[in-house]
Structure 1
């Protein structure tokens, strides 16, 4: 347990996230054809939490009046407390325009607004999702730089549960995702010595097979709690966890 607000991001088919007694960001929304709000199969009686908007499948759109109006209406109808613009594709100025138009309308209704870090400049004052995924450096450096740039009060930690394997040597630093069941099988069958990396706030172990060394990097409840404690030391007070990624360890974290 850590002294910060944890928000679970859950798709429509995993409403078990509601049982944990923390806010839930509902992932069943995306930008549909014609710039309209496309809704997933959410329960009709669902109320409360956050509307989580995806840019998956977005191509192009010039006007955002209809979408902004539909988002505000959905928030009102379902008593949502805010919107999370969880945009994962390459930075798109058209989407930046959407966020810039939507932000003041949400502010007027006293609704919170979270945006992916690449879009932070389009709506100064919105909360910024800062990912724990690292392409270099340490997590301390990452959070320190983000806190200096945005201010800790504006940051929400976007916790990405790591489970990856890397060939050694690995000059490009690019690994492959390792499914959770494969990770658990390796740990159970090989019983390798496991080490903790303070720089990455993650566990790792080495494997040798087929005349090749591999490094396996992964998170469990303890390492995720370490990430949350570190963020709290920087003054960050909110964190998002993706429920399908942490369902097996959510009770230990929350």
Structure 2
């Protein structure tokens, strides 16, 4: 199943056929309560998508609030896109109550210890091999406990390519760099994305970026490894969605 992660402004125009929907309309407040975005869009079924602001002061009401919201909207599961600073005991409690009510639970790798959860692995890497990362995840968690977030990458790394040396780019910023430096682009089979390099003053840069071709290859790799759950952030791919999944 391919899920489109939908912020409130994208719900109305998202395709209804062939894709599941994960509604990014929920957040956990600093006081440990469930918040819902103010939107006029109606939605039923699919997944509830929740993020947070980090540490919270309480969480006793959260599991019940989440389950009730799932029942009200017919959600089949919950994506817990929680930051590393979110309390471990709260994450475990939410996951346990959701599983008890037969709801699927998707978590980032730092909450993989939540029982019966499905671990979401990002395809946005700058070193190593995407095939190796996904294969390692399957080996570590089991084939039925792995989902993939197909990240639509636009990143400018100051070498060496470490996460603290990265700038996220907009489409216009990426196009400006391509136009200014006229560097040839190459496809990396290991990273499963396109890249080019350029220099400014005494610094070397590596730019990674995706398009319909690389996203299609990432999707095909995930499918070839038997991964059954795939997510994409709809605003990033809405203009190329038909090309990603063209037969």
How does the TM-score come out when normalised to structure 1? Answer: 0.85
**Residue 206 of structure 1 is aligned with which of 197, 200, 208?**
197
**Residue 90 of structure 2 is aligned with which of 87, 95, 98?**
95
Cα offset for 1:44? 5.7
Cα offset for 1:223? 0.7
Whole-Å separation in 1 of the counterparts to 2:181 and 2:137: 38
SS of alignment partner, residue 121 of structure 1: coil
Match of 2:3 in 1: 7
Whole-Å separation in 2 of the counterparts to 1:210 and 1:137: 28
2:96 is the counterpart of 1:105 = no
SS of alignment partner, residue 199 of structure 1: coil
Whole-Å separation in 2 of the counterparts to 1:171 and 1:100: 35
Question: Is the CA contact 2:99–2:105 (under 8 Å) kept in the aligned structure 1?
Answer: no
SS of alignment partner, residue 214 of structure 1: strand
Question: Is the CA contact 1:32–1:58 (under 8 Å) kept in the aligned structure 2?
Answer: no
Unaligned runs of 5+ in 2: none
Whole-Å separation in 2 of the counterparts to 1:81 and 1:160: 23
SS of alignment partner, residue 19 of structure 1: coil
Residue correspondences, number? 243
Match of 1:118 in 2: 110
2:156 is the counterpart of 1:165 = yes
Whole-Å separation in 1 of the counterparts to 2:76 and 2:63: 15
How does the TM-score come out when normalised to structure 2? Answer: 0.87
Cα offset for 1:250? 2.3
Cα offset for 1:212? 4.5
2:188 is the counterpart of 1:192 = no
Relative contact order, higher structure (CA 8 A, sep 6+): 1
Whole-Å separation in 2 of the counterparts to 1:132 and 1:208: 26
SS of alignment partner, residue 235 of structure 1: coil
C-alpha RMSD over aligned residues? 2.3
